[in-house]
Structure 1
């Protein structure tokens, strides 16, 4: 298991390492795609070297995350670092494509899972199924979603939960109200 030490808050390097590993990439694989040396990437992952904004854009593209995910987030007070994420300090993740706004609820990406707060805008949907090498559990906080999981259609509302295990899925919010879900995803994908 990957864990941050309680007195050492997760860093950009730790998040990059977790994302790289979650995608099954070695240091050599990623450095080759980036056109950089393994040593440079290793130093970035160990917070010994600071990547430029151009480097961050390229890394984000290769890891399929928004570049904003890689910007340093507001530091938590020392006694909360690695443990508490305040509502006003959540990191935006994913993209707002198709009316989905997501925020990371986990303190960082160094655990075996991530927790995500997802808001699905009214009448929003994705039409192309998504398949990820993950196990995901979602809990509907409010609103309603229509889910297609492995070809089967389901409608879930506030209080319901669901699970997706590497199956193709897509979603739609048929309502004129936003829908909010909390997702737990393993391994982290953002």
Structure 2
């Protein structure tokens, strides 16, 4: 499973507390929710107490069960998330996923409480691979360092530093770094997939 690690700003995210609140708001027991998610009630209890961090696929299943966006688990309250124009490096939310092979920095999540675009800087380590679920939307990617292979449906593209690609997200997508060094690229998604 893909474990995530929230690097910063960690004090703003209480994923377990949000899961507990959503579960209670829907009158689900730990056992009922665990069954829907195909995990044990014990694991879910530890998750709700922030002793376990969920995998990205589990966060996606949680979002589906609760009918919320996955970003719900990362956002602050609306009162705290007042719109602002400038985002400093220490305010960027950074997530490490795919066994440390992917580092994602989110840029727009605190500029506006409900951004219409999702802007991320991704660091895909050498040998790393990421597969994305299909959904309605659009994506533009710009490679700023290294080389990545992008598969969209049945087509495959090799992108080098400075190259960009645009595609719709309603088909299979995989990004692989088979180059000799880590690769960095910017992703711009509409509508937001994770932070909304």
Q: TM-score range by the shorter chain?
A: 0.5 to 0.7
Give distance in 2, aligned partners of 1:98 and 1:134: 27
Distance 1:123 1:87 in 2: 27
Q: Relative to 1, partners in 2 of residues 1:168 and 1:117: Cα closer, same or farther, differing over 3 Å? A: same
- Matches of 1:113 and 1:94 in 2, distance apart? 21
Aligned length: 143
* TM-score relative to the length of structure 1: 0.60
**Is 2:23 the partner of 1:34?**
yes
Q: Normalization by structure 2: what TM-score? A: 0.58
Structure number with higher strand proportion? 2
Q: Which residue of 1 aligns with 2:138?
A: 135
Match 1:89 to one of 83, 88, 91: 91
1:124 to 124, 128, 131: 128
CA RMSD, 1 decimal: 3.9
Q: Give matches, 1:67-106, under 5 Å.
A: 69-70=74-75, 82-93=84-95, 95-97=97-99, 99-106=101-108
1:144 is displaced (CA, Å) by 0.4
Unpaired segments of 5 or more residues in structure 2? 1-11, 13-18, 28-46, 65-69
Provide runs of 4+ in structure 1 moved above 4 Å: 55-61, 64-68
Give me the whole-angstrom Cα distance separating, in 2, the residues matched to 1:97 and 1:168: 22
Q: Would you say the 8 A contact 1:98–1:125 is kept in 2?
A: no
1:89 deviates by 2.0
**Does the aligned pair in 1 maintain the 2:92–2:107 contact within 8 Å?**
yes
Structure 1: stretches of 5+ with no match in the other structure: 1-11, 13-29, 39-52
